[in-house]
Amino acid sequence: ESTAALRTSRLAKMKKDESFLGRLGGTLARKKKSKEVSDLHEEGKNAINAPMLPTGVDIHPEDTLLEENTERIMLDPTSRENLKFKDLLKVLIDWINSELEEDRIIVKDLEEDCYDGQVLQKLFEKLSGRKLNVAEVTQSEIGQKQKLQTVLEAVNELLRPHGWTIEWSVDSIHSKNLVAILYLLVALAMHFQAPIRLPEHVSVQVVVVKVRCLLKNSSFFKTERDAFDTLLDHAPDKLNVVKTSLITFVNKHLNKLNLEVTELESQFADGVYLILLMGLLEDYFVPLYNFYLTPESFEQKVHNVSFAFELMQDGGLKKPKARPEDVVNLNLKSTLRVLYNLFTNYKNSE
């Protein structure tokens, strides 16, 4: 982990490894109720599959599935509970809503409302008095990124000559990276001398997830931070949400055979449920002579899990990263990786 602090006196000379949210001052009077997620199943699906959660936790599987030699900066979950950080979010949200009141735009969540470029476009146009040549409404990812590109080019062109360091990009904003969004909004507020007072000495913890290539024994070995390593290390409180969602997914199908899963680690360890689940997902019957229905030895269980992996590959899935032996040995992360792969590919199957 690394700590970041954003000093509003000047972002210009800061390095990314320095503090992120720094000396700001005061608050706005208006209040905003924090967004709540009450449905556990929906929260679990988001924790597994959404590109970025709107509230709660920023660390989840999709955030760590990165390309080689890339990195992503995410908020540590505990930072969202920081009172000064919450105050900063409220101040910025209230400021944006005040500026865009005539456009009848209401921002409730910075990540969800700023990522597609619409709000940022309107805010920049209002502050600068300059009309940007962009489409008003863009639903596709390509269209949203094109709009963001135009907006950010205009912002950067305005701010860079005044010494501001550009701590945001099209990809970081569109991926709902709250750190980048805050850098951008604070810079705009400071540059245009917004009539607001921001909280002082705000700091947050961030998690930097990196993927890199290592040279070992004259061969390249790709290493990456696994999504469930991150979950277990930095968001153990959300692990049960993910497990519950995966259990809901597998039971949706296993219930057709009057089977029920309550413990992911143990009930998939002998491979039987994995094999039956693949048959249900791909809509075929797996002959009983292909596997051990009541495996007793370690070798029989490994045979079953390996056979389940073969069925997955026959169904067009990539070879699981987990080893069959790890699943048999009740390794939770390995089991989660396998089930998450199935969830990703069959989540819409009936």
Residue 60 reports pLDDT greater than 50? no
Q: How far apart are CA 44 and CA 283, in angstroms?
A: 26
Mean pLDDT over 20-39 rounds to 36
What is the percentage of the chain residues whose pLDDT exceeds 70? Answer: 69
Q: How far apart are CA 27 and CA 87, in angstroms?
A: 7
Beta carbons within 8 Å of 255's beta carbon, 6+ residues apart: none
Prediction pTM value: 0.45
Closest CA to 90 of 9, 150, 32, 167: 32
pLDDT in tens, 65-101: 444 455 666 777 777 888 888 888 999 999 999 999 8
The total of other beta-carbon atoms located within 10 Å of residue 175's CB is 16
Tokens standing for residue 173: 């904003």
Q: Any idea which residue has 């961030």 for tokens?
A: 206
pLDDT in tens, 32-48: 333 333 344 455 444 44
Closest CA to 56 of 68, 70, 69, 42: 42
Domains of the chain: 72-209 (1.10.418.10), 227-347 (1.10.418.10)
Q: How far apart are CA 77 and CA 238, in angstroms?
A: 10
**Residue 207: its H or E element:** strand 204-216
How many alpha carbons lie under 13 Å from residue 344 in its C-beta half-sphere? 19
